[in-house]
Amino acid sequence: MNPSNLYPRLILVAVIGLVYSNTFLSSFHFDDITSILEKPWVRGLDKISQLFNRHALFQRPLVLFSFNINYIISEFEEPSYHLFNIMLHALASLLVFRFAGRALNLLNDFSPQKTFSSLPFFGAMVFALHPLSTQSVTYISSRSSIMATIFYLSALILFFDGFKKWKQTGHKGWGYFISSSVCFFLGGLSKEIIVTLPAMLFIFHFYFIYRKSLKEWFVTYSKWIFLLFIPLLTFIGYKQFIAGGLLNASNAYLKPSTWLLTQTSVIPFEYFRKMLFPFNMNIDIDFPVLKNWLQPGNWLGLLLLGLIIFFWVQISNRVSRVDEVGRRCAGFGMAWILLTLFPTSSFIPLLDVAVEHRTYLPMVGFVFLSAGCINYLRIECLENLSAFSFPVTKLMNCCVVLILIFFSLGVITRNSDWKDEVTLWSDAKMKSPKLVRPYNNVG
């Protein structure tokens, strides 16, 4: 491997190991008790055959299989479970690095503008060190989000590697396409959020391969886009009416309309806010349930979300007229966030209104959005400040390093809250004083 490609990967893995090194002795928490300690299927190799029968197929058997491997290694000693999560997070971050590199290489093929060469590495570091991802990494049961993200990214990379081979040589890369399909299937055995992958293939094609307007793209591929709804609706129908509820939501207490209204505020005020300003991480978020669509105060989140969608559409409509890396990355990032939040933040009620580990896969979109904004600002500054010999690139590099240091400190600090049940739920009690669950779990 070229040293220029090897060194960033080594740095990425080393930094992840460093910032998450204070989690190895953290205890099991919350759903870990029922998902690992009390799960009869997590007891060694002789139980593995039970994970892939018809009844267990939609209970994330691949994740349970990984817990079995941990059990074989150390039974119920926590360090091996945390080591697996950290290794999986490092693998996901490396895939983000590779995926971002692939995307920018596609833009270089037809964009007149030079890209910020370190954007893939910057994006991977943001993904690896963002404090909002700590729940997915440190909370052992959230391994499902990491595994699904790994298969999601792998499927995308393999599919478009096959697409590239087809365009360059005229031979369809069936090996790539079959491998991508296998990753899609394995992702489904990890967590149902993988269901948005087929739609993401089309979105990636528009932003990084197609060169005309959004309207022309939609007209050209409309029949294929509508075909996506057939497997999606089949999956949703089976899960909801036969398998006991989509995303294990059968015991949820909210109506779909109430859930949808509430999520229009959760997305901008909880998820987007913590992506931009990663403070006050909380395992038990006290977010108000919004029930009345006619109450004007409940429209604020809907208006803000509508504004986000409006800007996304404007950016998407301009990419055909201005082949500009920043706009394409930002537009793709916004589309990624909105699409990957759809399974958990639309109309399907779940047990908790807002949960931080639901943002792990959407965080990939935030990486592209951040990279696009950084590249756009860099180009604007270079054009406007070049006459003053202003060191734009050096200044932006310094800002990026400071942000990553801040993120790293945030991860280390947040991980200390996961030391044991007392520290975790005492923190939740302080941040959500009106909720009963933190008091019960501390007691």
Predicted confidence band of residue 354 (pLDDT cuts 50, 70, 90):
very high
CA nearest to 140, candidates 295, 35, 248? 35
The more confidently predicted of residues 319 and 136 is: 136
Residue 209: pLDDT band with limits 50, 70, 90: confident
**SS3 at position 260:** helix
Q: Select, from the ranges 223-237, 284-298, 301-315, 400-414, the one with the highest average predicted confidence (pLDDT).
A: 400-414
Q: What percent of the chain has pLDDT over 90?
A: 41
For the ranges 78-87, 117-126, 183-192, 231-240, the one whose mean pLDDT is highest: 78-87
Burial status of residue 90 (CB atoms within 10 A of its CB: 0-12, 13-18, 19 or more): buried
From 180-189, 241-250, 393-402, the region with the lowest mean pLDDT: 241-250
pLDDT category of residue 399 using cuts at 50, 70 and 90: confident
Assigned token pair, 304: 């803000």
Residues 292, 296: Cα–Cα separation, whole Å: 9
Where in the sequence is the domain holding 94, given as residue range(s)?
A: 3-442
Per-residue pLDDT for 388 more than 70? Answer: no
Name the pLDDT band for 251 (thresholds 50, 70, 90). Answer: very low
Question: Using alpha carbons only, what angle is made at residue 275 by residues 269 and 281, rounded to the nearest 5 degrees?
Answer: 80
Find how far residue 297's CA is from the centre of its chain.
30
* Res 214 pLDDT > 70: no
pLDDT in tens, 87-135: 999 999 999 999 999 888 887 765 655 556 688 999 999 999 999 999 9
Where is 136: in which H helix or E strand? helix 134-138
H and E: helices and strands count for the chain:
19, 0
Mean pLDDT of 200-209: 87
pLDDT(60) > 90: no
Residues 6+ apart with CB under 8 A from 165: 171, 172, 173, 176
The mean per-residue pLDDT over the stretch 345-373 comes to 91
Rounded Cα–Cα distance for residues 141 and 147 (Å)? 11
Our count of domains for the chain comes to 1
Max Cα–Cα distance, the chain, nearest Å: 71
Using the structure block, give the residue that is written with the tokens 């859930």: 259
